[in-house]
Amino acid sequence: MDIQDLELAINDSDKLTRMEASLDLGAKITKGDLVQKRLEEVNNHVHTTWSFSPYEPAAAAFQAWKAGLGIVGSIDHDSIGAAQEMLDSAQNLGIASTVGFELRVSFLDTPLGDRKINNPDSKGIAYMCVHGVPRQKIGKVEEFLKPVHIERNKRNKAQVEALQALVGTYGYDLDFERTVVPLSHSAEGGSITERHILYAMALQTIDMFGKGEKLVRFLEKDLKVPLSPTISGFLLDEYNPHYAYDLLGVLKGNFLPRFFIQPAVSECIDVRKVVGFGKSIGAIPAYAYLGDVAQSVTGDKKSEYFEDGYLDELFDLLSDIGFPAVTYMPPRNTVEQMQRLQTLAKNRGMMEISGVDINSSRQSFNCPELLGPCCHHLVDSAWALVAHEKLSTCDENLGLFSKKNPLATLSLEQRIERYAKLGRKMDPRHPLDSIQFFD
- Looking at residue 295, its pLDDT comes to 54
- Looking at residue 296, its pLDDT comes to 43
Distance, in Å, from the CA atom of 84 to the CA atom of 316, rounded to the nearest integer, reads 35
- Looking at residue 359, its pLDDT comes to 87
What percent of the chain lies above the pLDDT cut of 90?
A: 91
Assign 433 a pLDDT band (cuts: 50, 70, 90): confident
User: Cβ distance 312 to 344 under 8 Å?
Assistant: yes
Task: Could you list the beta-strand ranges (E) of 161-283.
Answer: 269-270
Residue among 140, 58, 130 nearest 91 (CA) = 58
Q: Return the amino acid letter for 80.
A: I
Q: Which helix (H) or strand (E) holds 215?
A: helix 213-217
Q: Are strands 284-288 and 125-131 parallel, antiparallel or unpaired?
A: antiparallel
Residue 299 clears pLDDT 70, i.e. is over it = no
Residue 155 clears pLDDT 60, i.e. is over it = yes
Look at 105-119, 291-305, 343-357 and tell me which has the smallest mean pLDDT: 291-305
Distance, in Å, from the CA atom of 344 to the CA atom of 426, rounded to the nearest integer, reads 31
For the stretch 384-402, pLDDT in tens is: 999 999 999 999 999 999 9
- Looking at residue 434, its pLDDT comes to 77
What percent of the chain lies above the pLDDT cut of 70?
A: 98
Report how many helices (DSSP H) and strands (DSSP E) the chain contains, helices first: 14, 8
Residue 297 clears pLDDT 50, i.e. is over it = no
Residue among 90, 74, 103 nearest 23 (CA) = 90
pTM of the entire structure?
Answer: 0.94
Q: What is the torsion angle, in degrees rounded to the nearest 10, for the CA atoms of residue 233, residue 235, residue 239 and residue 242?
A: 110
For the stretch 71-102, pLDDT in tens is: 999 999 999 999 999 999 999 999 999 999 99
Distance, in Å, from the CA atom of 391 to the CA atom of 433, rounded to the nearest integer, reads 9
